Amino acid sequence: MSVLILPFPVVNPVAIDIGPLPFGLGSLPLRWYALAYIGGFVLAWAYMRFIVVRDAFWSKDQPRPSVIGVDDLIVYVAFGVIIGGRLGHVLIYDPHHFFQHPLEAFMLWKGGMAFHGGFLGAAVGMALFARGQGLPVLTVGDLCAITAPIGLFLGRIANFIKPELWGRPTDVPWAMVFPDPAAGDLPRHPSQLYEAGLEGLALGLVLWVALRAGALKRPGLATGIFCLGYGLARTFCEFFREPDPDQEALGNGLTMGMALSLPMAIAGLLLIGFALRRRSVFA
């Protein structure tokens, strides 16, 4: 076993404690997990506004959201992510518990958000927005795909701070012992940081390069790159992440994360092929 185990940088999961509140209501703890969601949406909103006003990223006659429209889009996406993420966790990972305790499905402060559920919820929100604005759904999806890695990066950092979703036991020099009885005293991969690096920083950089290369001029290309990149990154990271034996482990080394991400990667590859082969209809 490695003697170069890194100490876990214990961070108070409560970033700000607002209070005392009036009427004897105590205080309002604002956790890093909540700030990650808030920060992700705010930064994605700012990034979208930056993109839609730059004509160089778009074809001449290509319809796109307005700056004001981005304000509405982020609301649609936020509701989709939160509702879909929670429903995904309830229905995919722990349905028996929530069928027995249905009111807990609404207790978001207790945690439990599934990325793939949030992805589908965001897709529904984007489709509703695109329909209401008379915009191509792939164009709206591309705009969201390019900005999504910001939230993924912040979310994985919040997972690390909490801590949750830690890695499998290992003897690599950068292994950490996570301060949670469920993790035991075994050195483990900091898999949350692996995911933050791949799903957030690396995928965000790839999409930035694609944006600069004209990806938005081919509707569906950026969405395909995101789906392929996330699917591959998540599948790779699942080999280092400790699956919950009751909720995530499927046997033979497979996990629920792999089972949901591989089809996403295949769909992304097909979408990339469709976008590249399709003749542009814009000047």
What tokens were used for 13?
Answer: 């999961």
Could you read off the pLDDT of 171-221 as tens digits, one per residue? Answer: 999 999 999 888 999 999 999 999 999 999 999 999 999 999 999 999 999
Does residue 21 or residue 98 have the better pLDDT? 21
Q: Which pLDDT does position 1 carry in this prediction? A: 46
Please check whether residue 40 lies inside any domain of the structure. Answer: yes
Question: In angstroms, what is the C-alpha Rg of the chain?
Answer: 20
Gap between the Cα atoms of 134 and 63, Å rounded: 9
What tokens were used for 99?
Answer: 């069928």
pLDDT band at residue 105 under the 50/70/90 scheme: low
Burial class, 99, CB count within 10 angstroms (exposed 0-12 / middle 13-18 / buried 19+): exposed
Q: Of how many residues is the chain composed?
A: 283
Please check whether residue 12 lies inside any domain of the structure. Answer: no
Tell me the residue range of the domain where 92 lies.
Answer: 29-277
Please check whether residue 13 lies inside any domain of the structure. Answer: no
Gap between the Cα atoms of 195 and 157, Å rounded: 9
SS3 for 188?
A: strand
- Among 31-45, 93-107, 199-213, the least confident range: 93-107
Please check whether residue 7 lies inside any domain of the structure. Answer: no
Strand partners, 6: 176
27: region left, alpha or beta (phi > 0 left; psi from -120 to 50 alpha)? beta
Could you read off the pLDDT of 53-88 as tens digits, one per residue? Answer: 999 999 998 999 999 999 999 999 999 999 888 887
Closest CA to 189 of 144, 236, 142: 236
The terminus-to-terminus CA distance of the chain in angstroms comes to 61
Please state, rounded to an integer, the average pLDDT across all residues of the chain: 88
Please check whether residue 59 lies inside any domain of the structure. Answer: yes
Q: Which pLDDT does position 25 carry in this prediction? A: 66
Please check whether residue 2 lies inside any domain of the structure. Answer: no
Number of domain units in the chain: 1
Q: Which DSSP state fits 84?
A: H
Please check whether residue 55 lies inside any domain of the structure. Answer: yes
Does residue 12 or residue 255 have the better pLDDT? 255
Please check whether residue 244 lies inside any domain of the structure. Answer: yes
Judge if pTM exceeds 0.75.
Answer: yes
- Among 52-61, 112-121, 145-154, 261-270, the least confident range: 112-121
277 is in an annotated binding site: no
